[in-house]
């Protein structure tokens, strides 16, 4: 059984394509069950964030799994596979684990050391488990990934300074305007990232307005920071009197188009408007950026801003990589051990089947034996089997966690016709 990850992220894919591949929380259960019904997929976890959409699967056949997941992406985005295949990256087994560990540690994020991604990895795994589509193979992988991500943050300085997309969005706006103190800022969305931006704005001394689908949530958060809530329907009007618009919702389509903003811009009397849209898919129609006096920044701009400020954490990243390498070795050892244990059991069960079959074949000749003699035959044949399998069992256990161990397991499967799907212990 191989672990395969196939995905697209901010490094491999244009934003316009990445947002078409994003899977919102409401759609995730259906997507997981879609994947698990495909011929070559035995387990599945989907990680979809503003920076990536990745599908992790446990599969018997690597190439078959790749075809299944590629078709899944094609149906998701209503695109032909050739329209996006060049942007896909593929890892399997140790490489897949190494990739996920780097993701969980924040090394593969737009903001180096990003703190939000570890929670997103955990949430993706929990949803897959709740839906019953993540089994022993992916559960082991994701458990190790979370442990690796936690160690990376605890044992190094990777999590210092700006380490989240929301922090970077506020910092980028402040960098553009010199300061956000006293600026009137409207925040669209009160989810995890929206709420984090609001807290950052409160520390910066901004005057905060909040808009959200749930008016109650917007009012509650606004009260906490001394701001006020705005109805979504009133957002175009509110834009007339703000300095900055920050947006991060889970909407599947843009919330504001050029027509919505154009009237407000005309009423601003030439005052510039800065919009930072960190949602994927985007909340603001890119055409808004062409309106006079409007500066529209999105995730592509944020990545450039974040890249310019990570020099101080480069040394921490090297330490993180050492930790991840160590955690990868530990994971591979556990993986191999989980393969070896059921293989030893399967080998002994196969030997016992043959012993019983031979005793049955000679049962007619053994009918004349008394109880003591039958017991002696049983003990003799069991002893032969036990001694014969002792050395192979010891060698397998000693080789667990190494390439040699993997080769020995594969050889036993082929030589003795053992079950290739032997379930590892829970």
3-61 pLDDT, tens digit per residue, is: 999 999 998 999 999 999 999 989 999 999 999 999 999 999 999 998 899 999 999 88
Q: Is the peptide bond before 281 cis (omega within 30 degrees of 0)?
A: yes
CA distance 387 to 215: 73
Domain assignment present for residue 322? The answer is no
Collapsing DSSP states into helix, strand and coil, what is residue 419? coil
* CB of 189 closer than 8 Å to CB of 248: yes
Residue 234 and residue 150 in one domain: no
The CA angle 105-187-284, to the nearest 5 degrees, is: 85
| Together in a domain, 402 and 268 | no
Residues 157 and 272 placed together within one structural domain of the fold: no
Same domain, 268 and 409: no
Q: Are residues 355 and 248 in the same domain?
A: no
**Does 200 lie in the same domain as 82?**
no
Catalytic residue among 28, 44, 50, 112, which?
A: 50
How many domains, the chain?
3
CB atoms within 10 A of CB 77: 18
Q: CA-CA distances (angstroms) from residue 11 to 24, 110, 179, 180, 309? A: 20, 8, 30, 30, 18
- At 67, which CATH number? 3.30.460.30
- 177 within a domain of the structure (yes/no): no
148, 34: one domain: yes
Side-chain-facing half-sphere of 83: CA atoms under 13 Å: 14
Query: For residue 102, which phi and psi values (nearest 5 degrees)?
Result: -65, -40
Q: Are 60 and 40 in contact (CB under 8 A)?
A: yes
The answer on 198 and 137 residing in a single domain is no
Catalytic: 233? no
The answer to whether position 425 is within a domain reads no
Does 175 fall in a domain?
no
Q: Are residues 70 and 200 in the same domain?
A: no
pLDDT band with cut points at 50, 70 and 90 for residue 423: very low
Task: Give the range with max mean pLDDT: 262-276, 311-325, 336-350.
Answer: 262-276
Domain assignment present for 20: yes
Question: Is 265 inside any structural domain?
Answer: yes
Q: Which of 287, 303, 319 is the last residue of a domain?
A: 303
Residues 13 and 116 in one domain: yes
Instruction: Identify the domain containing residue 102 by its residue range.
Output: 2-161
Is 173 within a domain?
no
Residue-wise pLDDT for 394-417, tens only, equals 887 777 656 677 678 778 877 888
Residues 43 and 131 in one domain: yes
Structure-token pair, residue 150: 């936690």
> What's the confidence (pLDDT) of residue 425?
33
Residue 328 falls inside a structural domain? no
In this predicted structure, what is the pLDDT of residue 118?
Answer: 94
Q: Are 94 and 126 members of one domain?
A: yes
Q: Which of 203, 282, 287 is nearest to 248 (CA)?
A: 282
**Which CATH number does the domain housing residue 277 bear?**
3.40.50.720
């Amino acid at each position: 059984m191989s672990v395969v990850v196939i995905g697209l992220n901010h490094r491999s894919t244009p934003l316009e394509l990445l947002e078409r591949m994003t899977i919102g929380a409401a759609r995730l259960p259906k997507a997981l069950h879609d994947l698990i019904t495909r011929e070559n997929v035995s387990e599945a976890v989907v990680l979809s964030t503003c920076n990536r959409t990745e599908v992790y699967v446990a599969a018997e056949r690597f190439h078959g799994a790749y075809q299944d997941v590629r078709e899944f992406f094609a149906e998701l985005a209503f695109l032909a596979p050739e329209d996006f295949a060049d942007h896909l990256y593929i890892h399997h087994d140790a490489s897949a684990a190494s990739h996920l560990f780097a993701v969980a540690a924040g090394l593969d994020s737009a903001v180096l050391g990003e703190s939000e991604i570890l929670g997103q990895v955990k949430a993706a795994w929990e949803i897959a488990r709740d839906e019953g589509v993540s089994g022993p193979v992916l559960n082991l992988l994701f458990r190790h990934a979370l442990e690796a991500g936690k160690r990376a943050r605890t044992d190094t300085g990777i999590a210092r300074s700006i380490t989240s997309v929301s922090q970077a969005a506020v910092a980028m706006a402040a960098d553009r305007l010199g300061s956000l103190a006293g600026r009137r800022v409207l925040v669209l969305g009160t989810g995890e990232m929206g709420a984090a931006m609001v807290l950052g704005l409160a520390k910066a001394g901004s005057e905060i307005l909040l808009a959200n689908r749930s008016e109650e949530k917007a009012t509650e958060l606004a009260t906490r920071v001394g701001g006020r809530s705005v109805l979504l329907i009133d957002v175009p009007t509110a834009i007339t009197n703000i300095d900055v618009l920050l947006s991060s919702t889970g909407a599947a389509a843009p919330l504001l188009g050029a027509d919505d903003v154009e009237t407000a811009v005309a009423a601003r009397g030439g005052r510039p408007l800065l919009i930072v849209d960190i949602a994927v898919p985007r909340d603001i129609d890119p055409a808004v950026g062409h309106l006079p006096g409007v500066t529209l920044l999105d995730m592509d701009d944020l990545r450039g801003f974040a890249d310019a400020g990570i020099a101080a954490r480069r040394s921490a990243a090297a330490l993180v990589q050492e930790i991840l390498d160590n955690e990868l070795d530990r994971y591979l050892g556990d993986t191999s051990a989980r393969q070896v244990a059921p293989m030893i059991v399967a080998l002994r069960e196969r030997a016992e089947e043959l012993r019983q079959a031979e005793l049955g074949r000679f049962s007619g000749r053994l009918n004349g034996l008394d109880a003591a003699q039958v017991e002696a035959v049983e003990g003799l044949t069991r002893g032969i089997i036990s001694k014969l399998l002792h050395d192979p069992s010891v060698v397998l256990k000693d080789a667990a966690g190494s390439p040699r161990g993997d080769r020995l397991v594969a050889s036993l499967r082929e030589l003795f016709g053992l079950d290739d799907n032997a379930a590892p212990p829970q």
